[in-house]
Amino acid sequence: MKLFKQIRDSVYCPDYYKKEVSTETLGQSVGYFIRLILLLALIVAVSSSFRFGNTVVNSMPSILDALNRAYPDELVLDLNDGLHIKPIIFIAVFLGYFILASLGWLLYNLLTALIVWVARRHQSPTLNYAKSYNISLHLLTLPILAGALIWIIPGIGQIRFLAIILFLLALFINFKADPSA
């Protein structure tokens, strides 16, 4: 349950950034990020297995033909309406999403950490790039959730620059200037 609280607080909770994220080590922030991606990989894999189960198998016969022949029929999940789900598809989508999403967002975080560092330097003169990287890992929660939602729900389509817009929104709402200062 701590992960769901961290997800909620990473989307919007200025106190969370002041009290918890500011004291986290890089390992703790990366741990949160990995747990978030694992959760979303599980959700995306389940969704994709139901939506694309037979389509993937039928559209890629040359690649999956050997897997289908080697895969025991006893392990196929038969659902209503003639839908057959092979756990191999679930595993492939899960691992593929986890690896690609992790690497992609971690690389993207190199840029967003630079944005945090430049934007916050005047309010936190002691803020360094490493701490900006930690903060940015949490600020990316909203864009990561939006990206997974776009993947899961068919027909939404891509919105150009959505990730950076949502990142900047999260940065602004969680680090708006303190009027009492």
Element (H, E) at 161: none
Residue with the larger pLDDT of the pair 115 and 152: 115
Q: What are 55-112's pLDDT values in tens digits?
A: 555 555 555 556 566 666 666 666 666 555 667 777 777 888 899 999 999 999 999 9
Contacts 24+ apart (CB under 8 A), 151-158: 151/44, 151/47, 151/48, 151/97, 152/43, 152/44, 152/47, 152/48, 154/51
Length of the chain: 181
Task: Report, as an integer, the average pLDDT of 118-137.
Answer: 92
Total-model pTM: 0.80
How far apart CA 53 and CA 82 sit, in angstroms, is 11
Tokens describing residue 166: 């949502």
Domain ranges of the chain: 26-174
pLDDT: which is higher, 154 or 133: 133
Taking only the tens place, the pLDDT of each residue in 19-47 is 999 999 999 999 999 999 999 999 988 88
- Of the candidate ranges 8-17, 61-70, 102-111, 144-153, the one whose mean pLDDT is the lowest: 61-70
Q: What pLDDT is stored for residue 68 in this prediction?
A: 60
